[in-house]
Structure 1
Amino acid sequence: MIFLQLFITFFFIGLFGFGGGYGMLSLIQGEVVHHWHWMTTSEFTDIVAISQMTPGPIGINSATYCGYTAVHNAGMGNAMAILGSITATFALVLPSLILMILISRMFMKYMNTSVVQSVFMGLRPAVVGLLGAATLLLMTSDNFSTPSQNPWQFWISTALFAATFVGTMYFKINPIRMILYCALAGLLLLY
């Protein structure tokens, strides 16, 4: 039953997840953490971190790890968890594959029409909103702690967040390098 639920869930995320992988993160978190309770917020945060560090698109990587974790947490073992990974990944990619095959010819023909351009103009703010929602959904006490619960972790996490934002936005430091710097800082300061 979990495989069918995984397929349907990730198929709809793939169908409605405009804005690429980062735009899908809030949808994925809403489904796997809050709706189905396949994993905790902390596990999802770890999945996002691993998905960013591994090669490939973050949405597909997240689906792969979420599928594995969901089935593994259901107590089905590693072999079945691998099948969960395959199911979630295939389901996430399938809508894009189908849509691209169906509309590739029509899109090239009508790409410069005002209707198509208007659709894309309307989607741009929605994509920015999805990216902002993904950021805000990850800003939880699981990731940052709270000043009353663990002040050291809260302030170090906040400083790392701010340093990463400034480093990538203003100093144009490579995001992969920033991830490695923050991993090292987290290891040194929070362990």
Structure 2
Amino acid sequence: MILLDLFIAFFKIGIFSFGGGYAMIPVIEHESVNHGWISAAAFADSVSVAGMSPGPVAMNAAIFVGYKVAGVAGAIAATLGMSLPSILIIVLLGTVFYKIKDHPVIASVFYGLRPVITAFILFAACRFAIQSHLVSSDIRKSVIGIVMLLIALVLLFYKKVHPLALILSFGVIGILGGWLMA
């Protein structure tokens, strides 16, 4: 029964979530926490691991939750539930979309969805910042975290530093900072 529950929950997430992996994170968290499969704090940790793992972040988060709930079978159920809607939708709409993509109503729908999807991604980023204690009651840690965030953004936008280089270097900085603050 738990495998079916996982499949159905992630199928709903897969069919009703738009905007890619990071926009799906709040929906995955809501479903996972409400079902009692994982705590909000553990989910925030899973998003950290999912973001650093190869592949789509939302799928990695689904695999993590499924595995935590029911082992390998749970990971498979969550993965199938999450990916099946996309496969079906792509196959069905792909055959039609090419013919209607330039229709004014369709273009307007996509124009209207962009701000909402951007809001979902920003919401997920803010939730992640709060749950990972980037923003916390410890002002010193908050300031350091925000400065690191701004440096990372500058390096990404203006210096075009490879994201993997940032992950590795900021991980080392985090280790060194943890030793210095301990």
Residue equivalent to 1:101: 91
Note closer, same or farther for the CA distance 1:91–1:56 as it changes in structure 2 (3 Å cut): same
Unmatched segments (≥5 aa) in structure 2: none
Residue equivalent to 1:113: 103
Q: Over residues 133-152 of structure 1, what are the superposed CA-to-partner deviations in whole Å (9 max), with x where a residue is unaligned?
A: 111111225433623xx455
The DSSP-based 3-state class of the residue aligned with 2:133 is helix
Shift, 1:81, TM fit: 0.8
1:174 maps to which of 156, 162, 173: 162
Looking at structure 1, the residues matched to 41 and 32 of structure 2 have their Cα atoms a distance apart, in angstroms, of: 12
Q: Does the 8 Å CA contact 1:68/1:81 hold for their aligned counterparts?
A: yes
Normalising by structure 1, we get a TM-score of 0.84
Q: Does the 8 Å CA contact 2:41/2:131 hold for their aligned counterparts?
A: no
Alignment of 1:1-191 (within 5 A): 1-33=1-33, 35-69=34-68, 71=69, 80-144=70-134, 146-147=136-137, 150-191=138-179
State the percentage of identical aligned residues: 34
CA RMSD of aligned residues (A): 1.9
Task: Give, as a single letter, the amino acid of the residue that structure 1 aligns with 2:168.
Answer: L
Normalising by structure 2, we get a TM-score of 0.88
Q: Over residues 119-141 of structure 1, what are the superposed CA-to-partner deviations in whole Å (9 max), with x where a residue is unaligned?
A: 11111111111111111111225
Looking at structure 2, the residues matched to 45 and 167 of structure 1 have their Cα atoms a distance apart, in angstroms, of: 25
Looking at structure 1, the residues matched to 113 and 165 of structure 2 have their Cα atoms a distance apart, in angstroms, of: 31
Question: How many pairs were matched up?
Answer: 179
Unmatched segments (≥5 aa) in structure 1: 72-79
Shift, 1:37, TM fit: 2.9
